[in-house]
Amino acid sequence: MSILFLTAMLASPQPAHASPLTPCAPAETTRASIDEIMAGGDAWLGRCVQVRGVTAGRILMAAPGSSSRIGVDNAHALGIGLTGHNEIAVTLVGRIDSCGRRLRQAEAEMARSGDIIMLGGYCHYSSGPVLVASEGSADR
Cross-strand pairs, 60 = 55, 70
Q: What is the pTM of this model?
A: 0.79
What's residue 73's pLDDT?
Answer: 85
Say how far apart CA 140 and CA 118 lie, in whole Å. Answer: 37
Among candidate residues 30, 41, 8, the one with its CA nearest the CA of residue 120:
8
Tens of pLDDT along 19-50?
666 788 888 899 999 999 999 988 999 999 99
Chain length of the chain = 140
| 34-73 b/e (C-beta count within 10 Å ≥ 16 → b) | beebbeeeeebbbbbbbbebbbbbbbbbbeeeeeebbbbb
Average pLDDT over residues 95-110: 93
Which residues contact residue 13 at a Cβ distance below 8 angstroms, ignoring those fewer than 6 apart?
Answer: 45, 46, 101
